[in-house]
Structures are given as C-alpha cells and as structure tokens.
C-alpha cells in the first residue's frame, strides 16, 4: 500500500474510487499500512449500526451537518456539528447516526489501516444486512444489533 504525496482531491478521492455503503457515499483519500482516511457523505436518516473495531482506532470530523455517535456500553451519546471530532478507541462499540434531517459531510480515519479498505470494496452496493455483517466480521469489524431508535 503506497500513497503518492500530493494534495487530496476531496471530490475525486484516491484513484477516483467511490463506494456506496448502506446509503452512504465514501471516497478514499489516503491509504497506507498505518492509516486509512476517507470522506463520507451521510444522507439524512442513514446510520452505521453499533460496531467494534477490535484492531483499529477510529475517528471522525464533521465538515458540515450534524451526526450523533453513541457508545452503547457506557450509554454515552455525543452530538457532533461542523468542526467537531470524536475518537473511537479500538475495542469500544460505537454507532454513527444522522438524525438531523439534513446531509452530513465527514472525514473518517482508522489506524492502522488493516482490512478496512478491502471491506469497503466488498460492501460497495451490498444491500443484504446479514451478508454485510458476515463480510464485515471477516475484515475485523464486528456489528452489534441496531438499537430500536436507529
């Protein structure tokens, strides 16, 4: 995995790759062994169910819009607006929700990169939730049941 040293083009992303993962659009920006960084667009009423990265730390920064991050084990709920960042340590369950009624634009990152880029390649356009959970587990992302208020 190598990344050319050049300015990030937010619209084109890395090699013009664009994925649709459960209604959200992701554009990879940086990929090395140590980090995977991507831009996401979360339409209103979309979410990433609670899940755990057992081998990666994750963070996100809201560029515009609003997202909610929930940590089910501690019952912590964080509302993020433009410019806010949240850190989600490896091994800690978290879910990401757009309940704002408006689109949110976000930068995400994980370290180390591990298998997440390859996971998004396989999830692109997938609509079967059971298959999404199965494939994710093979790529070191373990989903929990979605809360009833998702």
Q: Report pLDDT for 15.
A: 77
Structural domains of the chain in order of their starting residue, each with its CATH number: 25-130 (2.60.120.10)
Q: Which two tokens stand for residue 70?
A: 């929930």
Q: Would the pLDDT of 16 be above 60?
A: yes
- pLDDT, tens digit (0-9, with 9 covering 90-100), for 33-69: 999 999 999 999 999 999 999 999 999 999 999 999 9
pTM of the predicted structure, to 2 decimals:
0.87
The answer to whether residues 26 and 39 touch, using CB atoms and an 8 Å cutoff, is: yes
- pLDDT, tens digit (0-9, with 9 covering 90-100), for 97-129: 999 999 999 999 999 999 999 999 999 999 898
């Amino acid at each position: 995995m190598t990344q050319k040293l050049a300015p990030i083009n937010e619209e084109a992303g890395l090699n013009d790759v664009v994925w649709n993962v459960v209604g959200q659009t992701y554009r990879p920006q940086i990929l090395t062994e140590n980090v995977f960084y991507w831009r996401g667009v979360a339409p209103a009423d979309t979410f990433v169910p609670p899940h755990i990265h057992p081998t990666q730390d994750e963070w996100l920064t809201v560029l515009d819009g609003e997202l909610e991050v929930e940590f089910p084990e501690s019952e912590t709920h964080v509302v993020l607006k433009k410019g806010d960042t949240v850190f989600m340590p490896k091994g800690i369950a978290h879910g990401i929700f757009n309940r704002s009624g408006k689109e949110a634009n976000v930068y995400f990152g994980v370290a180390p990169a591990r298998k997440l880029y390859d996971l998004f390649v396989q999830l692109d356009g997938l609509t079967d939730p059971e298959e999404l959970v199965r494939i994710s587990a093979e790529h070191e992302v373990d989903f929990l049941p979605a809360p009833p208020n998702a």
